[in-house]
Amino acid sequence: MKERFAKYIHQLQDTICEGLENMDGKARFVEDKWERPEGGGGKTRVIADGAVFEKGGVNTSIVHGPLAPAMQQAFNVPDSNFWACGLSLVIHPRNPFVPTIHANWRYFELYDKDNRLIDSWFGGGTDLTPYYLFEDDAIDFHGTLKQTVEPFHAGLHATLKSQCDTYFSNKHRGDEMRGIGGIFYDYMRPGEIMDAETLLRFQQANGDSFLPAYLPIVERRKNLPFGEGEIEWQEVRRGRYVEFNLIHDRGTLFGLKTNGRTESILMSLPPRARWYYNYQPQPGSPEEKMMQYYKPHEWV
């Protein structure tokens, strides 16, 4: 399973980078290979200052070694070894009418000190963060994810969507979601609701759905005119994105606590963001209307 999934994420990295480059038409991804002293490494690919994408990264990593004490406590396990493989991406577009998007697909194995496998699981998901909402974009995005998930287990999409709504929220701001959600799952173990082979195909299907879910939205919105007011709102909401990633995101915390590569982990942060004291959108404005969508909503 390790070798097969590692091969898949490297192929997916190539496919996604090519699709995003074609959409941008100007910028290209720059690759930075790195090694982790404790074991493993990765390939960080970053795009910047493009015609469409202001900043983004599509990163793969395969890391292994002793599990850090903080993570032993988090997983409630004794002194252990681990192996983790995944692809993580965040794309911050230039135009405020084009949503930011995040996705991650990962596989984790845990071993005792004699290197016997004691646990394994898949995790991942995709979520969308629009600054201005076009309802047909939201419906299409969530619909694509539902069509991807449902063939594997009837009713599963509703569960994963609810988990995403709950997870990607700034609880310190009254459970205000950072975007409009998508799907999120973790600790999906072989043999629970799917056997190992089906679970691998499920993970691959979710990875393959990324470009069809996102690129049509980008194509529809990338050339819409915008001004300083829209940029200001975009950067205020990017501030909320930063808050979530640095305070709540388990992937960010895991990477930093296991001596992951800081530059790659913090690639997810936008190039520009704003924080105002007690900021409130103008009453009756499109920005105020947008706030109603940063909470759970049934799109499909």
Active site residues: 102
Q: Contact at 8 Å (CB) between 63 and 255?
A: no
CA dist., res. 215 & res. 156, Å (int): 24
The C-alpha angle 111, 116, 117, rounded to 5 degrees, equals: 60
Q: Contact at 8 Å (CB) between 45 and 37?
A: no
The C-alpha angle 144, 150, 151, rounded to 5 degrees, equals: 110
246-252 contacts: CB < 8 A, separation 24 or more? 247/170, 247/172, 248/170, 248/171, 250/186, 251/88, 251/104, 251/106
